[in-house]
Structure 1
Amino acid sequence: MPVDPAFARFDMARLYDAFNHHGEDGDFYENFAQTPCRVLDIGCGTGSVTLRLANRGHTVTGVDPADGMLQVARMKDSEGRVDWVRAPAAEFSLPDRFDLAIMTGHVFQVFLDDVGTLAALRNIHQHMVPGGRLILESRNPQDKAWQDWTREKTREQRVVDGIGTVDVYYQIKDVEGEHVTFDAVFTIEATGETLVSESRLRFAPVETIRGLLSAAGFGEVELLGWWDGTPYSETSPEIIAIAHA
């Protein structure tokens, strides 16, 4: 599981946390399991969805390879409700087995090839109880969401505690096959300092996602196209896969 170098840093992770919030997607994950269960959040980042699930009474473990992200997550978890684990998705080893595993925030797209993706999915599958479910999300490549990742369309400002006003925008650097490379550019108003985080994502087609889940040992897969439960179609903005272990 690749780690964006910037998000291994606490200062960049804090900026990421200030600008990235979960709306309909967070509600979907929070309400998916109707009764308390054991949840594994892979690529949990700063823990926004992880903590929402813990607040609902679930027993939650959050896994992420980035130190900076986990530092921010732990700061928000003053009561120690979540077990935070620093490890790549293909390498963590836990004694627990989980009823539900989730990969939020399009974290599935940071796996850039079949080999790395399959290694992660197989490790997740090994940590699930029979009949458990994995939910992952990936932007539908046919929707070409990256075409809107421009300074003009993505620029926004927020006031970040301890930092002040921060401006951010996203800009595409390269589109090659299934892979899109882009920068997140943060500017701190008080100092004029600019911090840049480069990311690379894979926009895998739905057939590839289905095939990788099957190869990892998952069975039935339900596909949704949006967080309201709309079934997936070729024009859906999202590929939301619910796979049974």
Structure 2
Amino acid sequence: MLEIACGTGRVSIPIARLGFSVTGLDIVPGMIERARSKSVGLPTRWIVGDARAFDLGEQFRLIFLTGNAFQAFLTNADQEALLQRVYAHLHDEGLFAFETRNPIFPRSQTPDGLFVPLETNEEEQDWSPFIDTSGREVRVSRTYVYDHVAQIHHWTTYKRWYEGGKEHTKITRTALRYTFPQELAALLYYNGFSIERQYGNWDLEPLTADSPSIISVCCKRD
């Protein structure tokens, strides 16, 4: 099986411990090195590569993405390039499974703090602080801007802590593409896939307007 955007192997390594051979692909070399160091002696293979352009010269019975990695493919061209590579590497009787957050608008019923509605709020909102590995309390706040045309949610996260009598701030920026259910169905269809099953969460409940996720299990279309 093949995991795309595998990161440090958080999902692939437990699968390998069950005796399955797993190939992990990620564009970040440091992630792959960490995965390799965590999986010595397991039936794993780790590859640095771009999910939009890789060619492993083989096919897999199962290809999957987790952690909403599909949302990192920000443009239509990015999404289609990914799906074309998946199609080329998927066995004719194989399955392709992935998740993406369900687009949720203001006033939807959502778990607090988990799935921010698609809106803009440029005033910093406080999130739960945490204690880092050095024992410092780190305060967290975020702003977010939703681009309705590009369907991209831009997050800016601020982490602040005191050290040496001074306040320090680390700023990170994240962009997430949101794809609507019918848009996703068309995208998959025109790239050669049929949706076999679709769920709204990891309890395998049906997809609804209030579901936090769109989890799709696909096969090659006849």
**What band does the TM-score fall into relative to the shorter chain?**
0.7 to 0.9
The alignment status of 1:54 with 2:27, answered yes or no, reads no
Identify which of 146, 149, 152 aligns with 1:179.
152
Would you tell me which structure has more strand in proportion to its own residues? 2
Counterpart amino acid of residue 152 in structure 2: H
- 1:167 maps onto 2:155 in alignment: no
Alignment of 1:74-93 (within 5 A): 74-79=36-41, 81-93=43-55
The residue that corresponds to 2:189 in the other structure is 214
State the Cα distance separating 1:134 from its structure 2 match. 0.9
Taking a change above 3 Å as real, the CA distance of residues 231 and 72 of structure 1, as seen in their structure-2 partners, is: same
Unmatched segments (≥5 aa) in structure 2: 107-114
Hey, what does 2:212 align to over in structure 1?
237
The letter of the residue matching 2:74 is L
Contact 1:43 1:62 in 2 (8 A): yes
Q: TM-score, normalised by structure 2?
A: 0.81
Distance in 2 between the 1:72 and 1:167 partners?
A: 25
- What is the 5 A alignment of 1:138-149? 138-142=100-104, 145-147=115-117
Pair 1:137 & 2:112 matched: no
Task: Please give the alpha-carbon distance, in whole angstroms, between the structure 1 residues aligned to 2:48 and 2:137.
Answer: 28
How far did residue 92 of structure 1 move? 1.2
TM-score when scaled to structure 1? Answer: 0.74
Per-residue CA deviation, residues 80-129 of structure 1 (Å, 9 max, x unaligned), is 54211111111111133111111100000011121110110110111011
Question: Percent identity of the aligned residues?
Answer: 26
Relative to total residues, which structure has the larger helix share, 1 or 2? 1
How many residues are paired up? 204
CA 1:97–1:207 in structure 2 vs 1: closer, same or farther (change >3 Å)?
A: same
Distance 1:90 1:166 in 2: 39
1:25-48 C-alpha deviation (Å, 9 max, x unpaired) = xxxxxxxxxxxxxx1111111210
Q: What is the correspondence of 1:1-80 to structure 2 with a 5 Å cutoff?
A: 39-79=1-41
Task: Give secondary structure in 1 for the equivalent of 2:130.
Answer: strand
Task: Mark the runs of 5 or more structure 1 residues left unpaired by the alignment.
Answer: 1-38
Over aligned residues, Cα RMSD in angstroms?
2.5
Offset of 1:78 from its aligned partner?
3.0
Which residue is 1:4 aligned to?
none
CA deviation string 1:123-166 (max 9, x = no partner): 011101112111111111125622499642x3342544xx5557
